[in-house]
Amino acid sequence: MDNATLKRIADNIRVLSAAMPEKAKSGHPGGPMGGADFMALLYTEFLGYDPDDLAWRHRDRFFQDAGHLSAMMYSTLALLGAYSMEDLAAFRQWGSVTP
């Protein structure tokens, strides 16, 4: 993948990762914004998964432990189709799929 495309993906992750805690009035946007380039590269070049079947049994798994980076993970997975924009809008809300 070319650098311009990777930058666009990372920029989308950054924008979403900043908007989610801003709307929720809770969270830390700095880490997710800083990690966006890593996530873009990881998901486009290294992890094996099927974007049409995100529950594929043989997909690679990435475990992220830092809860401060959850907006980055949700944003990345939303760009893959695992979450909707409505799910991201409900970030850190009671009963949300993006707690």
- pLDDT, position 51: 86
Domain count, the chain: 1
- pLDDT, position 20: 96
Query: pTM surpassing 0.85?
Result: yes
* Angle ∠(20,61,53) on CA atoms, nearest 5: 80
Q: Answer whether residue 61 is part of any domain.
A: no
Q: Answer whether residue 37 is part of any domain.
A: yes
Q: Answer whether residue 87 is part of any domain.
A: yes
Q: What is the pLDDT of residues 16-72, one digit of tens each?
A: 999 999 999 998 889 999 999 999 999 999 999 998 998 999 999 999 888 889 999
- pLDDT, position 12: 98
- Over residues 4-15, the mean pLDDT reads 98
Q: Answer whether residue 92 is part of any domain.
A: yes
- pLDDT, position 66: 82
- pLDDT, position 32: 93
- Over residues 81-85, the mean pLDDT reads 95
**Main-chain phi, psi angles of 85, to 5 degrees:** -65, -30
> What is the CB neighbour count within 10 angstroms for residue 69?
19
- pLDDT, position 47: 96
- Residue 17: give the domain boundaries: 1-46+66-99
Q: Answer whether residue 52 is part of any domain.
A: no
